[in-house]
Structure 1
Amino acid sequence: MSDQSAEKPSAGPSEPRKDAGPAGPELARAVLDAALAKRRANFQQPRHRTDQGGGSGKRLTGYSGPGPDPRDPQLFGVMLERIMKQRGWQKPAAEATVFGAWEKVVGEDIAKHSRPIKLDDGVLTVEAESTAWATQLRMLAGKLLKSIAAEVGHNVVKKLNIHGPAAPSWNKGPRRVQGRGPRDTYG
């Protein structure tokens, strides 16, 4: 064994290997330079239009120079409006605004004492916190319809169905006795 180790000198950490190519950072630099050279070569080759068939020898025209470009960053609100219009989501968005921005749509005072329950085929059901408020809202129905139309658009809400608070339900539990329910006693 000692004869074999004497024949081949070993390369130490300070001695570079002469039989191999670059190693470590030099190898990484060489690979990066090769990739950049390949990219430059591909970029400088002329591109031909293939949609006209046969290659006309003209380069593709792209967007260059100052001015608006569809690839430029856009405001989120602008893009959201464009997508909603393309997909036909204007009416569902307007209906959602009635529920999401109720205070803005009808005003702070009315919003404190009422809430929208459902919107079905242009009929908005509103629940008031008391029967007195329900009566007041019925008198203001025309004004409410105008303010809703001004905020979310026309023909989203065509009619208001206003009622007072819901009465407690006595239909609790899996077994229920038929009849009118409790009257003067809760026994």
Structure 2
Amino acid sequence: MRKSNTQSLGDVLREYIREMHMEKKLKEVDVVQSWETLLGKTIASYTRNIYLSKGILYVEISSSVVKNELIMMREEIRSRLNELAGDEMIEKIVFK
């Protein structure tokens, strides 16, 4: 017999994520994954390691030319990544 208080799977998953306090970590993963979408495959090909820790996005770049270009665009990149996340996830970007 089926219970009358059925919920959609999406609602159940959202509730579980909220209860387990995983929302922020999932947004951090989204920010890192949106790097290639935002900057394109060419720039992403020069990127070796991207991670977010305590509001700071660390990005390892293999080309000094690309690194200098990204340093000049740092604030624009930060604001666009935060906009994609829908929250102020990144306070600062560090290029290595």
Identify the TM-score tier after normalising by the shorter chain. Answer: 0.7 to 0.9
**What is the root-mean-square deviation in Å for CA atoms of aligned residues?**
2.1
Higher strand share: 2
Matched, 1:95 2:95: no
Structure-1 separation of matches of 2:65 and 2:76? 18
Contact 1:102 1:116 in 2 (8 A): no
Provide the residue aligned with 2:5 in structure 1: 70
Contact 1:102 1:115 in 2 (8 A): no
Distance apart, 1:115 and its partner CA: 4.6
Matched, 1:152 2:85: yes
Greater Cα radius of gyration, structure 1 or 2: 1
The partner residue of 1:125 within 58, 61, 64 is 58
Equivalent runs, 1:21-170 vs 2, <5 Å: 69-72=4-7, 74=8, 76-104=9-37, 106-108=38-40, 109-163=42-96
**After superposition, what is the alpha-carbon deviation per residue over 1:41-63, rounded to whole angstroms, capped at 9, x for unaligned?**
xxxxxxxxxxxxxxxxxxxxxx7
Counting matched residue pairs gives 93
**After superposition, what is the alpha-carbon deviation per residue over 1:74-130, rounded to whole angstroms, capped at 9, x for unaligned?**
1x43332221112221111111112334323x2324323325433221111111220
Identical-pair percentage: 23
Gaps of 5+ in 2: none
Gaps of 5+ in 1: 1-62, 64-68, 164-187
- Looking at both structures, which has the greater relative contact order when contacts are Cα pairs under 8 Å and sequence separation is at least 6? 2
Distance apart, 1:158 and its partner CA: 0.7
- TM-score normalised per structure 2: 0.78
Structure-2 separation of matches of 1:160 and 1:136? 13
Counterpart of 1:118 in structure 2: which amino acid? Answer: Y
Structure-1 separation of matches of 2:30 and 2:80? 13
Structure-2 separation of matches of 1:91 and 1:115? 24
Structure-2 separation of matches of 1:153 and 1:113? 26
Evaluate the alpha carbon distance shift between residue 115 and residue 155 of structure 1 in structure 2; reply closer, same or farther with a 3 A threshold: farther
